[in-house]
Structure 1
Amino acid sequence: MAADMGKAAVDVAAALNLAPVSPRDMLVIVPVVGPLMAAALAVMLRGWPRSQPAIAIVTLAAMIAAEIALLARTLGEGPVTMVMGRWQAPFGIAFTVDTLGAVLALTAAVAGLAGAVYARADIDGPARRAGFYPFLLAMMAGVSGAFLTGDIFNLYVWFEVLLISSFGLLVLGGEPRQLDGTVKYGLLNLIATTLFLVTTGYLYGLVGTLNMADIPARLAALPQTAPVMVIASLYLVAFGMKAAAFPVNAWLPASYHTPKIVVGAVFAGLLTKVGAYALIRTLVMLMPAAGAVLSPVIAWVAALTMITGALIALAQNEMRRTMGFLVISGIGYILAGLAIGTADGLAGALAYAVHSMLAMTAIYLAVGAVERIAGSSALTRTGGLYRASPLLAAIFLGLVLAVAGLPPLSGFWPKAMLVRAGLEAGDGWLVTAMLVAGFLITLALGRVWLLAFWRPAPGGGEEVRTRLPATVMLPLAALTLLTLLLGLMPEPLVAAAQAAADGLTDPAAYVRSVFPGAL
């Protein structure tokens, strides 16, 4: 009886949400639950390798439809929140979809769908049975979860999901260079992930919450002696490593050229952007004061990332390595928008992220098409490819213009937005770095196109006209067309990027979606 008297009655009803969940709100978790369930189904059907592509393609198409609906809702009504287990925030784990997360999740699904279609030609039966499509679907669930979660520890969980899945994709095939690339990729990413986890524990010990809508108010109420700058600096290192920012980016060029080309394409389009997203979300929305203090450091990191990536790309002989360093250089532009820190600068960074996700996925797939024709992507072994495939030559040239940031393709407008924002903020030296890096990227890609396509074939021979499979050309042409449409009609992308940037700099709507009674 004494034991019963010692127990305090706890009424948890006030922490629960007993109202039925709206079907519209259930849409929030479809981009995460859908690919996880499909991955499980693909594992169960691994004995029927022909079923694997269909499962992945249908699932990713459904993800795109769900994310279009989510984006339309966030643009019309503001952020949408669903808390797991009927707990109210901050007790339950929240999924909060704002324009930023919806745009990036939608773009990721488009890139993933292109990769799934291309893989029908690139991934053979043994690789399918070994788990290519389940790994791809699980990775897409991790990417979507990272973009849509409203809990910073849950962000760590989704990083782990996509990291483990990416290990499986990298090592698929078991070649010595793949194993070597996987070890380097895994070691440095695990260091970054461990640092992320330790920093998140430090943050929880400081503010007592992990909900992203709750953290800013808790941090603002802390005394000035609180170690907020230490936490922000640790996040900068951890997420900078995930994003492949200078100088903690050695893992990317050491690994992205080793796996199947479709794996490299999806990695190039998605993985570093998740790290950049986490950095923007943390330093702009959660810790704006600390982010402002760190902006000069971020500006130097951005400039060095842009220029070193472009310079090293210019010196490469192998196309895959060239594209890997261009992925790094592109991250510098996103960080430049973060360093500028204004709503216009952030909008430019987000528009550039969308462009880069599509264009880098496409140009990797184009390199895969080159390898199919020439048997290699080394510039010393290729030439005359415009005769072998005039359509591929035209598509590749279009992607060169896109990645270089030249009109009329998608890369022009984000760079123009960043340059304008930098000039308005008085960051002339950072704008100069952007322009210099853009010039170097143009030289690197122009060199690739001239040597691989325009130059006669090595040894005086001529490339035989080659017909590429439809599953290779269809996703490649679709992504290239999308970059062209975004270049010719940039208004929807610019408007969505501006809305996302406004939501970051003024997160009141985000907070109200999680805590409806909050001011």
Structure 2
Amino acid sequence: MNMLVPLPVALPLLGVGVSLVLGHHPRVQRWVSIVVLVGIVAVAAVLLVQADTSGPQTQWVGGWPETLGIVLVADRLAALMLLVSALVTLAVLGYSIGQGMTEDEEGAPLSIYHPTFLVLVAGVANAFLAGDLFNLFVSFEMLLFASYVLLTLGGTATRIRAGTIYVLVNLLSSTLFLISIAVVYAATGTLTLAHLAGRIADLPDHVAMMLQLLLLTTFAIKAAVFPLSFWLPDSYPTAPAPVTAVFAGLLTKVGVYAILRVQTLLFPDSPLTDLLLWASLLTMVIGILGAIAQSDVKRMLSFTLVSHIGYLVLGIALANRAGVSGTIFYIVHHITVQTALFLIVGLVERRTGTTSLLRMGGLARVAPFLAILFFVPAMNLAGIPPFSGFIGKVGLLQAAQQHGGGLAWVLVVGGVLTSLLTLYAVAKTWAVAFWRTPEEAHEALVTLGHQEDAVEGTRHRGHVHTASGVVSTGDIEDARRLGGDGDERSDRDFHQLIQAGEDIRHLPASMVVPAASLVALSVALTVVAGPLFAYSDRAAQDLLDPSSYVEVVLPDGPVGEQP
């Protein structure tokens, strides 16, 4: 027993109550949220050390006799996920506080934001620690409630529409999850994962396969695995930057975590390996093809998010130690890098007023630090050596090679192709948004037949950068008219109008520092890749040989089920 195990769930829920009481004191609310998340980081770090040195840590809660109540389990995998998620949510919280201080129009009052954010944190932590299926269901419902509120902050029509699609899809998956839970209980008489590890093996093959398909379908929707990923690219880009970042970094990974936990603990000899391998391949390839077709940075990143879920499913489907270890390493990498990229895109949007590549240009000249902040995690995402993305992908592709078989080699080719296309997508984005000049951006709009959008649509909200500051493309057009037709315009009049119409909006340090911290963390993953991969390998061994997990939850064996 370890009394620290419930704290990652209890602390944010306690913070929710305190935050609601202090609804008229936003500054105190902020400090409550910060203290809670710092506390979770500390607790998660201690649990990680204890799980690695002393085995899984457990705590039965709810006042019920052991084996009948709710059990929380922090093994190596759960503790690692807790620590990474706590670090990421702490950075996102700092970023959102900075954004809220300067842009009141970006969301609802902090009195709503902070309690909801802490409910999200509690739901993520509970999902990682859940030792039974029903508690895992409760975790997903906490996430659904909190994410819908956060997704619709500001109440705009676009966000409400995207939030409605998101909720409908997740209500469908929640209904399917409830059906799955009912069927599992009817077939086995329990929902505790440690019990199920033994009882499902005794079921007829067709019954066990039905249970596996139900659970996999439920979690595949949550994780955005193809063909159940259609909802994500339309839902995430509409939310405020910090909300999109935490969604992209964590919510889909909770679904992947559930797949990993269920597959290794309940269905270790899965007959559905080929199905998962095909799902992995299609998720990778179709997701990245969607990404390279996008002209909006947020939508491009949303499609790459879907695509790289395929890498995670690949390691799970291989079901060997190298594959599971690679998946665990890649989850840590992807949570950090994807969250960092969405936060940086939020900075780009604040500086330019848009996320459309058609309206951007010249950012590298006026915001070189911002250009570097985007470039580093973008290359990491693409898997350029020596970054952690390269290390994780090599580990997964080597696992596929060890697995052998024609389909595994197809996955190797698909993984390499996906990595190359990811590089193309992020390099194109960087070249267009940061490298080309604002004048080239305007010419591209005109060439594409968007002259009206170039002159009118960006006058009030679409800004691009020149060497002298932020200028709308409409102002550039007006400057050209003053200077005459074609290339004969007056440079003096052009630059005078730019100086008169510039709208420089500096990026607050309270937003830049959290984003830069996550970029630094993503680079640090490369530095500590050796120890992290070794830890992931030990966690993978625990998952593939779950005897220690079962024994620590049920020390007296299955007969201990009766009070």
Q: Provide the TM-score with structure 1 as the length reference.
A: 0.92
Partner Cα separation in structure 1 for residue 30 and residue 364 of structure 2: 31
Q: 2:220 pairs with 231, 235, 240, which one?
A: 240
Q: 1:109 pairs with 86, 109, 115, which one?
A: 86
Aligned pairs for 1:480-519 (under 5 A) are 480-518=519-557
SS at match of 2:556: coil
Aligned pairs for 1:194-213 (under 5 A) are 194-213=175-194
Shift of 1:459: 4.1
- The reply on whether 1:228 has 2:208 as its aligned counterpart is yes
Task: Note the alpha carbon deviations across 1:397-428, whole angstroms, 9 max, x for none.
Answer: 10111111112222111111101101011121
Shift of 1:236: 1.3
Q: Show structure 1 runs of 5+ residues with no match.
A: 1-21
Partner Cα separation in structure 1 for residue 175 and residue 395 of structure 2: 35
Q: 1:165 pairs with 143, 146, 171, which one?
A: 146
Task: Note the alpha carbon deviations across 1:241-266, whole angstroms, 9 max, x for none.
Answer: 10001011111111101111110000
Q: Provide the TM-score with structure 2 as the length reference.
A: 0.85
Identical-residue share of aligned pairs (%): 38
Contact 1:305 1:328 in 2 (8 A): yes
SS at match of 1:83: strand
Contact 2:264 2:543 in 1 (8 A): yes
Shift of 1:35: 0.5
Q: 1:337 pairs with 315, 322, 330, which one?
A: 315
Aligned pairs for 1:99-178 (under 5 A) are 99-123=76-100, 124=103, 127-129=108-110, 131-178=112-159
Letter of the 1:452 counterpart? A
Change (3 A) 1:172 1:294: same
Task: Note the alpha carbon deviations across 1:80-127, whole angstroms, 9 max, x for none.
Answer: 111114544421110011111111111111110111000012235572
Partner Cα separation in structure 2 for residue 440 and residue 317 of structure 1: 15
SS at match of 1:96: strand
Partner Cα separation in structure 2 for residue 454 and residue 309 of structure 1: 26
Task: Note the alpha carbon deviations across 1:189-230, whole angstroms, 9 max, x for none.
Answer: 1111110111011001111111111111111223x3551101
- The reply on whether 1:266 has 2:305 as its aligned counterpart is no
Shift of 1:372: 1.2
Aligned pairs for 1:340-489 (under 5 A) are 340-426=318-404, 427-457=408-438, 458-459=441-442, 462-463=466-467, 464=469, 467-489=506-528
Show the counterpart of 2:72.
Answer: 95
Contact 2:344 2:515 in 1 (8 A): yes
Partner Cα separation in structure 2 for residue 251 and residue 307 of structure 1: 17
Partner Cα separation in structure 2 for residue 86 and residue 75 of structure 1: 28
Partner Cα separation in structure 2 for residue 129 and residue 449 of structure 1: 33
- The reply on whether 1:219 has 2:200 as its aligned counterpart is yes
Contact 2:71 2:130 in 1 (8 A): yes
Letter of the 2:422 counterpart? I
Partner Cα separation in structure 1 for residue 244 and residue 69 of structure 2: 36
Partner Cα separation in structure 1 for residue 9 and residue 350 of structure 2: 34
Partner Cα separation in structure 2 for residue 225 and residue 437 of structure 1: 35
Contact 1:143 1:162 in 2 (8 A): yes
Runs of 4+ in structure 1 deviating by more than 4 angstroms, as ranges, are: none
Contact 2:378 2:426 in 1 (8 A): yes
Letter of the 1:170 counterpart? L
Aligned pairs for 1:274-353 (under 5 A) are 274-289=254-269, 292-353=270-331
Q: 1:49 pairs with 2, 6, 26, which one?
A: 26
Contact 1:89 1:211 in 2 (8 A): no
Task: Note the alpha carbon deviations across 1:466-500, whole angstroms, 9 max, x for none.
Answer: 64211111111111111111112202221221111
Letter of the 1:484 counterpart? V
**Bigger radius of gyration, 1 or 2?**
2
Contact 2:95 2:514 in 1 (8 A): yes
Partner Cα separation in structure 2 for residue 392 and residue 368 of structure 1: 11
Partner Cα separation in structure 2 for residue 294 and residue 417 of structure 1: 22
Partner Cα separation in structure 2 for residue 92 and residue 119 of structure 1: 37
Contact 2:26 2:111 in 1 (8 A): no
Letter of the 2:124 counterpart? V
Size of the aligned set, in residue pairs, is: 493
Task: Note the alpha carbon deviations across 1:287-333, whole angstroms, 9 max, x for none.
Answer: 222xx211100101111101111111101011110111111011110
**Root mean square deviation, CA, Å:** 1.5
Partner Cα separation in structure 2 for residue 342 and residue 446 of structure 1: 34
Show the counterpart of 1:36.
Answer: 13
Contact 1:90 1:209 in 2 (8 A): no
Letter of the 2:355 counterpart? S
Contact 2:20 2:111 in 1 (8 A): no
Contact 1:103 1:496 in 2 (8 A): no
SS at match of 1:131: helix
Q: 1:256 pairs with 227, 230, 236, which one?
A: 236
Partner Cα separation in structure 1 for residue 14 and residue 30 of structure 2: 15
Change (3 A) 1:89 1:433: farther
Q: Show structure 2 runs of 5+ residues with no match.
A: 444-464, 470-503, 559-563
Show the counterpart of 1:12.
Answer: none
Aligned pairs for 1:73-84 (under 5 A) are 73-84=50-61
Partner Cα separation in structure 1 for residue 137 and residue 277 of structure 2: 26
SS at match of 2:395: helix
Contact 2:119 2:146 in 1 (8 A): yes
Contact 1:402 1:409 in 2 (8 A): yes
Letter of the 2:47 counterpart? L
